[in-house]
């Protein structure tokens, strides 16, 4: 089974938790895409009704519209559920997110969700965050070299994300510094320190946010809680 089939399997398991009338956070990335498509399919088939989607990126908003999910911008009302992918999943369901560049909108949206359901293929499982993926950190463009210098004071390895020859720009108009993580760190302390750095908007550390994860492997889908 290829990775795309696995991602879709995980997505279908998560969408099975969505009920008619719910406000649903729509994640971003190649795995979340399958969840958005499945919600659209269920709406078209009458298997779900009255869903309102809240998108975590321009790309997900466009896809939601294409597959017929009514959407609304985020407002202070809670979301019933959000479904999203991840770049790394630790055994306690702490996550690294943001290789797709949507970390800030994802965090701002998903913190309001009663349930955050993560969907992924088995390659995203790690024993410790930072094992495979860098930690994306969104920073404001103004003075970005100074912000990176400050970050390098305690995260010496890492680089500004590029898109071809240009700096990568998020939906919020910001840049991303992809930081290598040290071998040993306390995730909450690191999050506090990065967010306390002038010029930083937010990090791709999603700590204590996920309720469960559906992780698909060739021998089946594991549900982690
Ligand atoms: C985007 C994200 C994505 O959820 C994450 O990058 C996983 O993406 P994919 O499912 O394509 O591997 O955090 O900001």
Segment 113-149, tens digit of pLDDT: 999 999 999 999 999 999 999 999 999 999 999 999 9
Provide the token pair at 5.
């089939």
How many residues does this entry show for the chain? Answer: 225
Distance 13 CA to ligand 1 centre (A): 17
Angle at 59 between CA 79 and CA 157, to 5 degrees: 95
Q: pLDDT digit string (tens) for 142-152? A: 999 999 999 99
The pTM of the full predicted model, rounded to 2 decimals, is 0.98
Pocket test for ligand 1, best of 2, 4, 85, 123 (most atoms within 8 A of CB): 85
Dmax over Cα atoms in the chain, in whole Å? 55
Instruction: Give the number of the atom of ligand 1 that is nearest the alpha carbon of residue 30.
Output: 11
CB-defined site of ligand 1, < 6 Å: 27-32, 84-87, 97-103, 106
d(CA 160, CA 179): 9
ipTM of the complex in this document: 0.98
């Amino acid at each position: 089974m290829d990775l795309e089939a696995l991602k879709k399997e995980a997505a279908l398991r998560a969408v099975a938790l969505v009920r008619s009338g719910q406000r649903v956070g729509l994640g971003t990335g190649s795995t979340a895409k399958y969840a958005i498509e499945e919600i659209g399919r269920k709406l078209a088939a009458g298997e779900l009704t009255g869903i309102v989607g809240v998108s975590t990126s321009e790309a997900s908003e466009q896809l939601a519209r294409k597959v017929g999910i009514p959407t609304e911008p985020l407002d202070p009302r809670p979301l019933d559920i959000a479904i999203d992918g991840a770049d790394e999943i630790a055994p306690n369901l702490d996550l690294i997110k943001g290789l797709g560049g949507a970390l800030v909108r994802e965090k701002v949206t998903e913190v309001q969700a009663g349930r955050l359901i993560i969907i992924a293929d088995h390659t995203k499982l790690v024993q410790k965050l930072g094992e495979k993926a860098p930690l994306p950190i969104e920073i404001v463009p103004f003075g970005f070299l100074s912000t990176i210098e400050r970050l390098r004071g305690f995260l010496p390895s890492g680089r500004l994300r590029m898109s071809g020859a240009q700096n990568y720009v998020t939906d919020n108009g910001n840049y991303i510094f992809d930081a290598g993580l040290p071998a040993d760190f306390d995730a909450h302390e690191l999050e506090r320190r990065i967010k306390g750095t002038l010029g930083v908007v937010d990090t791709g550390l999603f700590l204590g946010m996920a309720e469960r994860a559906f992780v698909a492997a060739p021998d089946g889908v594991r549900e982690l809680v």
